[in-house]
Structure 1
Amino acid sequence: MKHRWRIALAMGAATAWVPGGTAWAAEAQRSTFGTLPDGRAVPAATLRNAHGVSVRVIAYGAAIQSLRMPDRRGQVADVALGYRTLAEYLAKPQYFGATVGRYANRIAAGRYAVDGRPFQAPVNDGPNSLHGGVAGFDKVLWTVTSVRSGPVASVTLRYVSRDGDQGYPGALTVDATYSLDERDTLTIEYCATTDRLTIVNVTNHNYWNLSGEGSAAGAMGTSVTIPADRYLPTDAHAIPTGELRSVAGTPFDFRQPHAVGERVREGADQQIGYARGYDHNWVIGAEVTPDQHLMARVSDPASGRGFELWSNQPGLQFYSGNFLDATSTGKSGHLYREGDALVFEPQIFPDTPNHPAFGSARLAPGQVYRNVMTYRLTTGAPE
C-alpha cells in the first residue's frame, strides 16, 4: 500500500478524492492529437488513476496511442507500441493499438456469403482480406461521444459504417468504450448494431511490450499462458484449414507458462514456418458467452509488469510481432523490429463465414454484438 500511495502522490493533479469515499477517483482529460489532411481535428482522451496507470486513446482508429504503467520499482513506462504524431499513423499504418473491423483477422480471398448472397471485401493481405479491408475501422475518424471521470474513468467513441462499406452489407453503428478504474483494470468494450443482416468481428490490436515500447530487450522474454487445448492451424496464407488441432507436444502449448522466445523459431513445425512465428487463433471456447472467461496471463519477469486478459469471445489470436521490420520508428525513437511486441486479440475465429463448423459471425437487426475485453494489470511486488 505504501508503494501505491507514493505513486498516487507523485501523480498530483491527475487524481481526485471521491467525496465521502475511501478511494481515489480516476480522471479523464480531453485533448487533440493533430489534424487530418481534410482539416478535421482528431480528438484524444487520457484516462489516469492514482497508481501511475494511464491510457491515451485517439479518435483516429479508436486506438490506444499510449499505455503507461509502473514496474515493481514504481518506474513508469509506456508499454504500447505506437507513433508520436498523427502524420506517422497516416504515412505508415501498422494497426498500432487500433480498433479493427468490420471483420477482424482474415477472410479467404475476401469472399463470403450471407444467406446465400455473395459478398466481396477488399483484398489487402496477399490473396485475403485482413481487418476489414483497405479502409477498415483502424483508418477512419471516430466520434467521441462521452468522456467521464469518476471511480471509473472512460471514453466512448462511435463510428457508423455505411451499407456497402468495404463490401459489407448493412449500416453498422459501432461504439468503443475504454475504461480505467482504481483496481488497475483496463476494459475495452465493443458494441454494434445493424439495420441489415451482416457479419461482425471487432477487436483491439494493441502491441504490448511490457518492458517498455522502446526497450532494446524486445518482448521475447515475456511469459505467456493461454488456457487452450486446441488451436487453428492455417495454410501458407494464414487461413484456417478447418482443423481444431491439439496443442499437446507442439510449440503452441501454452497451458503452462512459457517465454515466447523459447519456441518461436522452431523451424521443424510447419505452422511456425508459415507465420514466421506465432500468428494463430487459440480455441478458448465454442461460442461467444454471456460472461467473461480467462484468455491469457502475460508477464515480464524483469519488470514485474503483467496482465490477465478476460473476454467473452471464443478465440484468441496471438501474434508475436513477426512482421515488424524496422521501417517504423516508435515514440521513443526506437526502430520496431521482429519480436519487439506481442498482440492478443479476443475474437470470433478467423474466416468463420466460410467455416460453418466455427459457429456464426452473423448480426441481424435487433441484435447487439458485444466483445468485452478486461485487462487486469499487475505491477509486481514492490521492493
Structure 2
Amino acid sequence: MAEFKPVKLSSPGHSDDGIAVEVLPYGLTIHKLLVQTDGRIHDIVIGPENPTDHVAQKYTNSIVGRYVNRVPVGTHSFERNGVRGDITALPNESPLVSLHGGPKGFDAVPWTLLTEKDALQLFSKAEAARIRAQPESSFAVFRLESPSGDQGYPGSLIVEVLVALISPDHQQKISENTPQNEVDNRVGSLALVYRAKLREANAVTPVNLTQHWGFNLEASLNKGPETLSVKHHTLTIQADKIAELDSDSLFTGRHVPLTPAHTHQAKPIGKDFPEKGYDDYYLFKDDLQSAVPTRIPLSSFNDDSDFVQDLLRSSDNPERGLRGPPAIELASERSGLKLLFDTNQRGTMFYSNALAKSSAGARKKIHGGSGVSGSGDAYDPHTAVFLELHHPLAAFLHTNEKAGEDTLLTSEELYHNYVRVDITSKQSPA
C-alpha cells in the first residue's frame, strides 16, 4: 500500500557523517531517523521494523491532531476574535477522555505526498521557491484535507507539513589542544513546519499539532537492557512550570511550579525518577517564548512572505537556535549524540514510554529486537524520550490561557508551527 511505502530523505554532512529520514504517508510517521557518525549508524527513534505495524503501534513517531493530548469528552463552545464555534469531542482513551484528536485522528489516515507539479497552497511563492531550491532528496511536503465535522471538529481544514533535512556548512573550528571526544561535530538538522488553514469564511476551530516521536540515543549500540533504558540520557528542558492534571490526566487549567523530579537541567533522566515515570507537559520559561508567530494574519501574508528562511539555513552554532539557547537538549554520553530543539511552541510533553510492554508490538532489529510484532521482545517501559512540542493542553477550554494562547484558528489566520532539531556528535566512548 502506498501509504506504507517510506519516503526517503537524506542530507550528507562532512566526510561520512550525515542524517536520513524515512517518512510514511500513513499518519505522517517518521519511521526511521538515521544518524551516521563516528563510523556507526544510529536509528534514534523507537518503533516497529515493519511500516504496517504502525497501525497497531499507535502514536509512535506519527503526527497527532487536530488536537494533541487530552480533551474532555462532550460538546464545548469557544470564541476567538468575535467568531464562535463548538466541538463535540469523541471518546477513545476512555469514556471521559478524547485523546490526540479522537478515534481516527491525523495519525491514522494517509497523507498525500506532493510532487514538484503540485502547487503549495499554504506556503507563499517566496517560501515555495526557497523550499524547492533545496536538494531534491532533502525535503518533502505532505497534505491532508480534514472535512468539517471530522472527529467532531468544526470547519474544513487543509494542512500542509514540510519535512526538511539541512546539512551543516562547514566543520567547527577547534583548538589543536582540544581532545577529539570533547568536540561536538554538527551532523545535520531536521525541520518540521506545520501549516493549516480553514476553507470556510467566518469559522473557528481548535488546532494544536505535534510530532509524537520517541527518541533513544543509545538503543542502536545494541548492548542490552542498559542501552535500551533512557535513564542514563541527560535532559534539559527550559521550563519553570508543569501542567496540573486530574485523575483522568486532563488539564485542570493551572500550571504549577516544578518539583525536583521535574527540574531537568542536564540531569540524568533516572535521577529523582518518579515511580510511574514521566508523562507531563512543561511550560517554557517566559523569556524563552519565540517571537515567531504561531498564527499569521492572512491579510499580511503575501507572495513575498518568508517564515522558512531561517529554518532552512545551516547552523554554524547549534548551541543557539533561531531565538537563543535551545528549548530542549537531549544527550547521551554513551553514544556521543546530542539533540537540540528549537520551536515557536510554548512547551513540550515529556513521556518516558511508561506504558510500553515488551509483549506488545515490535522492536527494530537495529535496536536488538526481532522486528516481529507480538514476539515478546518489544520495548519495555522507559525506553524512549517522547518530546512532543506544542501549545498548552486544552487551552481553548481555560479562560486563564486566553491572554497567552487559546489554540484556536479562525478563517482569517494561517497556522504556523515549527520544530527544528540540530544533531551533533562526539567520538563515542562506548
Tell me which interval the TM-score lies in, with the shorter structure as reference length: 0.7 to 0.9
| C-alpha contact 1:295 1:346 (8 A) present in aligned 2 | no
TM-score (norm 1): 0.81
Give the structure 1 partner of residue 292 of structure 2.
290
> What is the letter of the counterpart of residue 42 of structure 2?
A
Tell me the percent identity: 25
d(CA) in 2 for partners of 1:289, 1:331? 39
Give the structure 2 partner of residue 198 of structure 1.
205
d(CA) in 1 for partners of 2:40, 2:51? 27
The answer to whether structure 1 residue 380 and structure 2 residue 426 are counterparts is yes
Give the structure 2 partner of residue 76 of structure 1.
41
**Displacement, 1:152?**
8.1
Moved more, 173-182 or 148-157: 148-157
Instruction: Say if 1:173 and 1:81 are closer, same or farther in 2 by CA, change over 3 A.
Output: same
Structure 2 residues not aligned, in runs of 5+:
117-131, 169-187, 294-321, 371-376
Structure 1 residues not aligned, in runs of 5+:
1-34, 268-275
**Displacement, 1:285?**
5.0
| C-alpha contact 2:85 2:205 (8 A) present in aligned 1 | no
Matches within 5 A, 1:225-264: 225-247=236-258, 249-254=259-264, 256-264=265-273
TM-score (norm 2): 0.73
d(CA) in 2 for partners of 1:110, 1:243? 21
The answer to whether structure 1 residue 44 and structure 2 residue 15 are counterparts is no
Paired residue secondary structure (1:53): strand
**Displacement, 1:93?**
3.2
1:365 aligned to which of 389, 411, 419: 411
> What is the letter of the counterpart of residue 210 of structure 1?
L
Moved more, 298-307 or 277-286: 277-286
d(CA) in 1 for partners of 2:3, 2:292? 37
| C-alpha contact 2:9 2:137 (8 A) present in aligned 1 | no
Give the structure 1 partner of residue 71 of structure 2.
107
Instruction: Say if 1:337 and 1:125 are closer, same or farther in 2 by CA, change over 3 A.
Output: same
Paired residue secondary structure (1:166): helix
Matches within 5 A, 1:46-195: 46-50=8-12, 51-71=17-37, 73-90=38-55, 92-109=56-73, 111-115=75-79, 117-126=85-94, 127-146=96-115, 150=135, 153-183=138-168, 184-195=188-199
d(CA) in 2 for partners of 1:357, 1:211? 40
**Displacement, 1:94?**
2.1
Instruction: Say if 1:110 and 1:336 are closer, same or farther in 2 by CA, change over 3 A.
Output: farther
Paired residue secondary structure (1:138): helix
How many residues align? The count is 332
Instruction: Say if 1:66 and 1:170 are closer, same or farther in 2 by CA, change over 3 A.
Output: same
> What is the letter of the counterpart of residue 44 of structure 1?
P
Instruction: Say if 1:152 and 1:314 are closer, same or farther in 2 by CA, change over 3 A.
Output: farther
The answer to whether structure 1 residue 309 and structure 2 residue 309 are counterparts is no
| C-alpha contact 1:70 1:305 (8 A) present in aligned 2 | no
| C-alpha contact 2:3 2:24 (8 A) present in aligned 1 | no
**Displacement, 1:88?**
1.3
Give the structure 2 partner of residue 340 of structure 1.
383
> What is the letter of the counterpart of residue 105 of structure 1?
N
d(CA) in 2 for partners of 1:260, 1:190? 29
Moved more, 115-124 or 347-356: 115-124
d(CA) in 1 for partners of 2:4, 2:52? 11
1:34-71 deviations in whole A, cap 9, x for unaligned? x1xxxx55443211122231111110001100011135
| C-alpha contact 1:152 1:182 (8 A) present in aligned 2 | no
Paired residue secondary structure (1:49): strand
Calculate the aligned-residue CA RMSD, in Å: 2.2
Paired residue secondary structure (1:84): coil
1:301-346 deviations in whole A, cap 9, x for unaligned? 1011111001001111111111111211122124111011111111
Instruction: Say if 1:330 and 1:347 are closer, same or farther in 2 by CA, change over 3 A.
Output: same
d(CA) in 1 for partners of 2:361, 2:347? 29
